[in-house]
């Protein structure tokens, strides 16, 4: 309920609300004349009475007339208070829950960096505020078979050119140089990842406005890694030395001239 989308959340909440009212309306209909002021065993009147009871409105036109009616109404009032408390808590938690709004590039690229091939991913901050003490980690997830024939999912952490920054404001190119220390070293340049592997990038930090930790992650399959390309430049300056980022080009890549000449 906390992680689902808002439309689905309201759909489930509305369905629960209707189901509760229909359930207690059916219980009221079971005994004739249990509701004074309502037509005997009329489901529509029972539904409206259930809505009034669940919301503790009590207009006065309809009210329980028998012991059975009072017992059902008491149970519904208790259920209504519990549902209201439950939904209020969920709404508060959803509104107060910080969202990272980290924007990950749709693809990863392999380009030359200081004469070495490097695996790169671009991350952007979609908020206007700052992320303090931001940390990024990258791992290769691989299915492996042991000598005994068992299959395990193994995680290989990738050393990054830079894995922390004191202030994350605009964008960050996460970079792993494929050298002798890299788990990807020795592979063909056009096959850094195979179909059984995936790249996972995780970011964490403290939201400067909410003063709370935020985190997000993104995964890349083998067909989402482009070779011989680098990310297009998205940062520019305008008058007043204000740095701006062009999100229209955030996912764009250009040919890597260094890779073509090497």
What is the structure's pLDDT at 75? 92
CA distance to 54, 73, 95, per residue, from 65 (Å): 17, 11, 42
What is the structure's pLDDT at 138? 93
What is the structure's pLDDT at 189? 64
In the chain, what percentage of residues exceed pLDDT 70? 95
Displacement of CA 143 from its chain's centroid (Å): 26
The secondary structure of residue 109, as a DSSP letter, is E
260 pLDDT higher than 70: no
Confidence of residue 202 (pLDDT cuts 50, 70, 90): very high
What is the structure's pLDDT at 236? 74
pTM metric for this prediction:
0.67
State the Cα torsion 59-63-69-75 to the nearest 10°: 20
d(CA 105, CA 120): 10
**Beta strand pairing call for 151-157 and 131-145:** antiparallel
pLDDT digits (tens, 9 = 90+) for 96-133: 777 778 889 999 998 888 888 899 999 988 877 788 88
Displacement of CA 76 from its chain's centroid (Å): 35
What is the structure's pLDDT at 237? 67
**Cβ distance 182 to 160 under 8 Å?**
no
**Cβ distance 36 to 62 under 8 Å?**
yes
What is the structure's pLDDT at 115? 84
**Cβ distance 165 to 131 under 8 Å?**
no
Displacement of CA 33 from its chain's centroid (Å): 50
Q: 240 versus 142: which is more confidently predicted?
A: 142
The angle formed by the CA atoms of residues 253, 257 and 262, to the nearest 5 degrees, is 130
**Cβ distance 160 to 138 under 8 Å?**
yes
Confidence of residue 43 (pLDDT cuts 50, 70, 90): confident
d(CA 262, CA 249): 26
pLDDT digits (tens, 9 = 90+) for 229-254: 889 888 776 656 677 778 888 899 99
């Amino acid at each position: 309920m906390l992680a689902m989308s808002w439309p689905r959340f309201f759909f489930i909440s509305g369905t629960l609300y209707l189901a509760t009212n229909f359930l207690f309306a059916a219980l009221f209909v079971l005994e004739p004349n249990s509701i004074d002021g309502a037509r005997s065993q009329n489901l529509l009147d029972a539904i409206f009475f259930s809505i009034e009871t669940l919301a503790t409105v009590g207009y006065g036109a309809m009210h329980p007339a028998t012991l059975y009616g009072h017992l059902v109404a008491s149970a519904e009032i208790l259920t209504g208070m519990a549902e209201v408390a439950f939904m209020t808590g969920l709404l508060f938690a959803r509104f107060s829950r910080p969202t990272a709004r980290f924007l990950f590039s749709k693809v990863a690229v392999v380009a030359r960096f200081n004469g070495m091939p490097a695996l790169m991913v671009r991350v952007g901050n979609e908020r206007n505020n700052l992320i303090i003490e931001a940390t990024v980690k990258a791992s290769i997830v691989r299915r492996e078979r042991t000598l005994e024939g068992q299959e395990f999912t193994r995680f290989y952490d990738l050393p990054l050119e830079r894995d922390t920054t004191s202030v994350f404001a605009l964008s960050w190119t996460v970079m792993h140089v494929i050298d002798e220390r890299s788990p990807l070293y020795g592979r063909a340049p056009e096959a850094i990842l195979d179909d059984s592997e995936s790249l996972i990038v995780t970011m964490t930090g403290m939201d400067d406005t909410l003063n709370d930790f935020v985190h997000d992650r993104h995964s890349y399959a083998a067909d989402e890694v482009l070779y011989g390309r680098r990310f297009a430049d998205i940062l520019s300056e305008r008058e007043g030395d204000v740095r701006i980022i062009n999100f229209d080009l955030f996912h764009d890549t250009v040919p890597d001239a260094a890779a073509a000449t090497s």
